[in-house]
Structure 1
Amino acid sequence: MLRMLSLALSLWFFLPVSAHAQNLQDILQTHQSEVLSPGRQSVGIVLDDLVASGLPQALPFLEAWRDREIVQRDSDGLFFRAIEVDDAITLQDLDTGTTTTVANDDDLTEARPNGGVRRAIGDALVQFQLSDPDIMRRQAAVDAIARSMDASQLGPLEASIADEPDPTLKETKERLAGMLAVLFGDTQEVRIAAIAGMADDLSVDVRAVLNTVLSTEPQVANTLPEDANIAQVLTVGNDVTDTEAYAQLIAADLAPPIVTNAQIREALVANIAGDIVGGVAVSDLNTDAARAAAYDALAAEGLVAPRVTPEEQEAAIAAHVFYLQYDEPDPVITDAAAKSLAAIETKVAFSQSVDLGLDALSLASIYFLAAIGLAITFGVMGVINMAHGEFIMMGAYTGFVVQQFVPDYTLSIIIALPLAFAITFGAGVAMERLVIRHLYHRPLETLLATFGISIALQQLAKNIFGTQARPLTSPEWLSGALVINDVIAISYIRIAIFVLALMFLGLILFVLKRTRLGLEVRAVTQNPGMAASMGINPDKINMLTFGLGSGIAGIAGVAIGLYAKVTSEMGADYIVQSFMTVVVGGVGNVWGTLAGASLIGFLQKGIEWLNPSNTLAAQTYMILFIILFIQFRPKGIVALKGRAAAD
């Protein structure tokens, strides 16, 4: 590695050309075999001469050599860089850069450095490229160091930090230099300071570096060595099994190996004399005990190695101590690394909890948007609308159609939201006038009718849009995610859905609490007979309420379609959760719907966290929990008074 560093620095400062090497071709001709078929040892000779030459053209040669672009022309033995363009091969002179074109490669022999040689060349190039004027080459060099950390890279990396003009890359270099200092710092103080500087970094690569410092190897000895950096003393039976402990003794040549049954059979076969082996007739060797006795007799005669009895194994294990020893010999370093890693793991656990909470909050927002329309219609009218999910689907497809005519994604979403409300509002009103109003107080017929409408709407969507998922593209400003740290991140789309849910919560509360329509809706919800006697038309309120709930579902479809697949079956993915949200939260109550959505969202994410490999099981457990919850609180979290309570 010192040779590589020397090469890189010499190329950077362009040392004077030596008297015996006026050009690069002269050096290569001296080492023809090493250039064509280099090895890990022979490549050093070529690199030494390149260092001595100080030729500026040595750097591009090394890059081409590493990339297997160097060829030798057989007719005169000269080396060139081969560039293949279309069907022709262009040969570039390594000293002057002039090019000539040849028709074929019959007169060319390709240099084939193996993987080890290419890595050796790459190490030198990486260190040199850290100060290259091209930021892409500097970034590539930093990435190469991060992939394969080595002690020789620390000095050049630190030297390149001060002159790094790009602030982002400079920060990356400083962070990488800190990780290298943890592993390869010159002094204990430098390494401890670097370890302490890692305590606030939650990234996986930092934890990997600290775990490297804390890597251990199992050891065994008669007594604990005083000069060893011991991580843990192992207890046989708890930390390590008897079998593993004795195998470790065998590996350390502290105990004889166990003779297996197969080895006993082989030894007996090899020592048969006539019809007897070990004083036992061959015909009697039909049990393990008989074979063991014959083998012991052979061992007593010194013909085979003696068997190790279970008692001898236990005695050997009891006579030794088993422990884990750090690969890092300095206990001060390992103590500091363990302390920093423990602090990081604590922060990671907290961040994971926050991230899980944000995911649950995001899911609750989606369920709230999907269910709030159903909560209004179900609460006011008592109608079980199985086609509610299809209104969500209609809203999503509305957004897709708008984007076919409006290429600006931001403008298309702005247009799609009110248009989806208008379309689904009209569809809801039509459905209420044509079907629902004829089935009031007949819940079974209503359920069957709306279920049939649901199937019909799904098939209609398939006929129009096909069965493949359609894209509803989010605007550019909604792409990506808000990254708090290496653990906590939430996509901007989910943030937008959360904000939209809050806006709808405020809007619906305003409509229900501050407008005449809201007053009439609440009156019909609590006591339709009394509301009718006060001059309120319940049929009209039912129609507008059903249209309002359907329109809200359409807007929810646009929002959900921004991150979920838009298909004819997408409504079915949310209808069950919507009903659970309404029933758990409390029928006909906005705050109840919010509470139900929050409960189901957090519950589902919590179950998925406990059982991440089986999301179907998570859904099952969630439904079982809700069934039990309803048994104890049948009116939901927030129960209504009036007609809802009476029902």
Structure 2
Amino acid sequence: MCLSTTSGLAQVATPDVLANDVPADSVTEAQLSGLAAVIAANRADIAKPSRQTIGPVIDQIAAEGEDAAAFLTAWEARELGQRESDGAIFKLDRQGDVYALFNPITGEPSGTAPRSDINEIKPNSGVRGLINSALVEFQLNAADPTIRAAALDSLERNSDASQLAPLRASLEQEEDPALLARKQRIERLLTIRFGETAQARVDAINDMGADLSLDLRAALNPITSTTTRAFKGAPTGNIARTLTPGQDIDQTQAYQLLIDAGLQPARLTAADLRRTLEDNISDGQVGGIPVFQLDDPDKRIAAYRALVAQGQAQAAATDADIADRLSGYSFAEIYADPDADVTTAAAMALKTIDMKVAAMQAADLGLDAISLASIYFLAAIGLAITFGVMGVINMAHGEFITMGAYTGYVVQLYITDYTASIIVALPLAFAITFIAGVAMERLVIRHLYKRPLETLLATFGISIALQQLFKNIFGTQARPLTSPSWLDGQWALNDVVSISYIRIAIFVLALIFLALFLYVMKKTRLGLEVRAVTQNPSMAASMGINPDRINMLTFGLGSGIAGIAGVAIGLFAKVTSELGSDYIVQSFMTVVVGGVGNIWGTLAGASLIGVLQKGIEFFNPSNTLAAQTYMILFIIIFIQFRPRGIIALKGRAAGD
């Protein structure tokens, strides 16, 4: 190939040539060496690459060492162009109507050229994949750890057998422990797929163990994939299992395999039979059988066979022939991988992984159930105080939850730091809902004690009024209550078990409130007075305790806790005027099932309902409404056998 001696050739000249003060216009192909010579010799293929033919050219370029990395990177990124006047190849930087030209090896400036004189080199995705594979070897040993990490990312997305050797060679030079661990893992995965020997692949499978990561399963599943094939005589290949027509495989499917393999003719369809007979009617007969007799299916088949024997019709199998034609053939599922030792090891590994995945799924389901139980407990703990201790059926409890959520939203309008806003919102929500609860108790509830039906109707009316008030103030659209950045994401044990940090925070918050409630009830004067009023209000009053004051504070405390629950729930649920109504039914069920008036009963009830709901959703994941329906039915049946709940309490709240 003749190379022009114009100044463009200097753009592919080696630094040695340029250092010898050879004039740019006197550089010839014979004077080029190294990478520059390879590029010059293959510039036509580089400018218009084809995936089928460019492989050897890329290999030649990659063999030139470190200088090749910059050229391959620019080529893969579509940053190269060829000048029409002399065919020289440059790295381009478009600047208006001209291109700034750079040496594709050294990156040194090489002047400019009009756009009309430059043809951009745009390799397709297939060629870019080959270039990227060649780049991996350089990237795996790059000095910059981010480049090495990017190379590993590329290997995880797309890899082939050619990358296994350079990956292994880079292990000894890797100094970063984290990158070394990734390289070792990827090397094992590539060995499973592309190992030189069956034993090497088996060893790699055994080294990975029962790893639950998706990439291991992605490497093992193709090995154990099977295809169903038909054989003349005994089956051959790496047999997964043999199939018996009529038992393991339908006879029609088995015969179709024979057709696909070219071992038997196609089946005779009713349409083909009718058309063939109609086309061969002669003198009122078809194949020697009178037409008037062709109403009989057996006569039609006989006529067809006669036509085949006479060469007037193409042979095909009737339904009656299939069973006979299957004899003499065998059917089997054949592994895609030809080596039995490898497929056996892969199948055993997948079986172990499946068992471990099942256990992890159960653990993940348990975490979801605990998370849901903590949400129900947090929503119900305030109701456990008002309903459980005071015996007041407060249908507006859900609206106190909504009030707390909207409090958090308003706080974030003025405090943009989400962590600080949550810290402010929690006590503020408690204060606002505490005051609202005290006002409701003083104005309405205290006039309706021991009148449960009137209390239910009154609080239900307050609930509707509060929902409308929220709509008038905040509108009907969902309002954002944003969690702090440190609550973003999830804690993942592996690819199966994970739980969001918000759910963990709610679980911790539920435990904190459990501890605070127990402390208040067991260690403070208020708790002592509440327990006294709960068990015997008349005796408590005779001891100097004011039952009205205790009822007011108790109702306010329950409402305040509902407000804090609203802030927590609003971090992951949409904040609307109906937020509280989504939890009021579950809150009542939690209190009733657990045992009225007992905090441990509320905890037990929340746990039971959380586990039950998640368990039902596991068996019917596409219909959560059905899961809630089944759960309510279960609760109804449960109450029939244990009307006082899991942990029954004696006293006023229990009806004594």
Q: Same fold (TM over 0.5)?
A: yes
The one of 166, 179, 189 aligned to 1:169: 179
AA matched with 2:506: I
Question: 1 CA distance for matches of 2:48 and 2:503?
Answer: 57
Question: What's the counterpart of residue 155 of structure 1?
Answer: 165
CA contact (8 A) 1:366 1:497 kept: yes
Equivalent residue in structure 2 for 1:448, among 446, 457, 476:
457
- Give the conservation status (yes or no) of the 8 Å contact 2:267–2:319: no
Check whether the contact 2:59–2:134 (CA below 8 A) recurs between aligned residues.
Answer: no
CA 1:333/1:577 → structure 2, altered by over 3 Å: closer, same or farther?
A: same
The answer as to whether partners of 2:277 and 2:304 remain within 8 angstroms in 1 is yes
Match of 1:123 among 114, 121, 133: 133
Shift of 1:55: 7.5
Shift of 1:57: 4.9
Q: Are 2:588 and 1:617 equivalent residues in the alignment? A: no
SS at match of 2:499: strand
**Residue 379 of structure 1, aligned match among 383, 388, 401:** 388
Aligned-partner SS, 1:416 = helix
Go from structure 1 to structure 2 and tell me whether the alpha carbon gap of 1:639 and 1:553 turns closer, same or farther (over 3 Å shift): same
Give the Cα separation in 1 of the matches to 2:325 and 2:498.
54
| In structure 2, C-alpha distance between the alignment counterparts of 1:237 and 1:537, rounded to whole Å | 84
Q: Distance in 1 between matches of 2:619 and 2:472?
A: 41
Alignment of 1:98 with 2:109, yes or no, is yes
Q: Which residue of 2 aligns with 1:561?
A: 570
Q: Which residue is 2:537 aligned to?
A: 528
2:246 to 222, 233, 237: 237
Whole-angstrom distance in 2 between the partners of 1:55 and 1:252: 50
Report matched runs for 1:395-406 at 5 Å: 395-406=404-415
1:435 aligns with 2:444: yes
Contact 1:15 1:55 in 2 (8 A): no
From 193, 213, 222, the equivalent of 2:223 is 213
Q: Does 1:633 align with 2:636?
A: no
Say if 2:540 is the partner of 1:540: no
Match of 1:355 in 2: 364
User: Is the contact between residue 387 and residue 453 of structure 1 (CA under 8 Å) also seen in structure 2?
Assistant: yes
* Deviation string, structure 1 residues 274-323 (Cα, Å, up to 9, x no partner): 76543467788678666544423311212223342444311333433322
Task: State how far apart, in whole Å, the 1-side matches of 2:202 and 2:453 are.
Answer: 73
Q: Distance in 1 between matches of 2:56 and 2:641?
A: 83
Give the direction of change, closer, same or farther, for the CA distance of 1:517–1:87 in structure 2 (3 Å limit): farther
TM-score (norm 2): 0.89
Which residue identity lines up with residue 254 of structure 1 in the other structure?
Answer: L
Q: CA deviation at 1:578?
A: 0.5
Counterpart residue type for residue 72 of structure 1: Q
Structure 1 distance, partners of 2:615, 2:563, is 29
| Secondary structure of 2:116 counterpart | coil
C-alpha deviation, 1:459, in angstroms: 2.8
Q: CA deviation at 1:551?
A: 0.7
Change in CA separation of 1:169 and 1:95 when aligned onto 2, cut-off 3 Å: closer
Name the amino acid aligned to 1:359: D
Match of 2:91 in 1: 81
How far the C-alpha of 1:645 sits from its partner, in A, is 3.2
Tell me how far 1:524 sits from its aligned partner.
2.5
1:466 equivalent to 2:466? Answer: no
Q: Quote the Cα distance in structure 2 between the aligned partners of 1:129 and 1:481.
A: 32
Correspondences of 1:97-496 after superposition (within 5 Å): 97-98=108-109, 100=111, 105-225=115-235, 228-273=237-282, 277-279=286-288, 291-496=300-505
Which range is displaced more, 266-275 or 522-531? 266-275
Q: How much has 1:428 moved relative to structure 2?
A: 0.3
Q: CA deviation at 1:456?
A: 2.4
Are 1:380 and 1:542, in contact at CA under 8 Å, matched by a contact in 2? no
Residues 235-283 of structure 1 show CA distances to partners (whole Å, capped at 9, x for unaligned) of: 3334321111111122233333211123224434544557654346778
**Residues 522-569 of structure 1, C-alpha deviations (whole Å, 9 max, x = no match):** 233233344334443222221111101001111111222222222222
Q: What is the number of equivalent residue pairs in this alignment? A: 631
Moved more, 626-635 or 359-368: 626-635
Matched AA of 1:498: F
Cα deviation digits, residues 602-628 of structure 1 (max 9, x gap): 011111111111111111111111111
Aligned to 2:3: none
Supply the distance in 2 between the matched residues of 1:115 and 1:488 (Cα, whole angstroms): 36
How far the C-alpha of 1:466 sits from its partner, in A, is 3.2
Q: What is the TM-score with the length of structure 1 in the denominator?
A: 0.90
Give the superposition deviation at 1:102.
5.6
Work out whether residues 398 and 419 of structure 1, in 8 Å CA contact, stay in contact via their aligned partners in 2. yes
Q: Retained in 1: the 8 A contact 2:234–2:329?
A: no
Cα distance in 1 between the residues matched to 2:145 and 2:133: 18
* Structure 1 stretch displaced more, 304-313 or 564-573: 304-313
Preserved contact between residue 25 and residue 79 of structure 1 (Cα < 8 Å): no
CA distance in 2 between counterparts of 1:242 and 1:553 reads 65
Q: Residue 617 of structure 1 aligns to which amino acid in structure 2?
A: A
* CA shift in 2, pair 1:623/1:85, >3 Å: farther
SS in structure 1 at match of 2:175? coil
Mapped to 2, the partners of 1:108 and 1:153 lie a distance apart of 34
Question: 2:247 and 2:613 mapped to 1: Cα distance?
Answer: 37
Describe the shift of the 1:645–1:114 C-alpha distance in structure 2 as closer, same or farther (beyond 3 A).
closer
Kindly indicate whether the alpha-carbon contact (under 8 Å) linking 2:492 and 2:498 is maintained by their aligned counterparts in 1.
yes
In structure 2, the CA distance between the partners of 1:56 and 1:144, relative to structure 1 (3 Å rule), is closer
Query: Is the deviation greater in 545-554 or in 80-89?
Result: 80-89
Cα distance in 2 for residues equivalent to 1:83 and 1:628: 76
Three-state SS of the structure 2 residue aligned to 1:106 is helix
> Could you say if the C-alpha distance between residues 244 and 60 of structure 1 is closer, same or farther in structure 2, counting changes exceeding 3 Å?
same
1:8 match? none
> Which aligned pairs between 1:537-616 and structure 2 lie closer than 5 A?
537-616=546-625
Structure 1: stretches of 5+ with no match in the other structure: 1-13
Cα distance 1:515–1:58, how it changes in 2: closer, same or farther (>3 A)?
closer
Aligned position for 2:514:
505
State the secondary structure of the residue aligned to 1:554.
Answer: helix
Change (3 A) 1:436 1:466: same
SS in 2 for 1:257: coil
Provide, for residues 312-341 of structure 1, a one-character-per-residue CA deviation record: whole Å limited to 9, x for no partner.
311333433322122222222222222222
Structure 2 distance, partners of 1:498, 1:138, is 40
Q: What SS does structure 2 have at the residue aligned with 1:370?
A: helix
Structure 1 residues 45 and 646: CA distance shift in structure 2, 3 A: closer
Assess if the C-alpha contact under 8 Å between 2:361 and 2:496 holds in 1: yes
Contact 1:80–1:93 (8 Å) recurs in 2: yes
Distance 1:40 1:20, change over 3 A: farther
Deviations 1:138-172 (A, max 9, x none): 22222222222311111111111222233222221
Per the TM alignment, residue 350 of structure 1 is displaced from its structure 2 partner at its CA by 0.9
1:233 and 1:55 map into 2 onto residues whose CA distance is 52
Separation of aligned partners in 1, 2:623 and 2:612: 15
Question: What is aligned with 1:516?
Answer: 525
Contact 1:425–1:547, Cα closer than 8 Å, also in 2: yes
Offset from partner CA, 1:342-391 (integer Å, 9 cap, x none): 21111111111111111111111111010011011012222221111111
> Percent identity, aligned pairs only?
61
Partner-residue secondary structure (3-state), 1:485: coil
CA displacement, residues 190-235 of structure 1 (integer Å, 9 cap, x when unaligned):
222211111131111101211222122212335544x632211223
Q: What displacement does 1:29 show?
A: 5.2
Paired residue for 1:40, among 20, 39, 51? 51
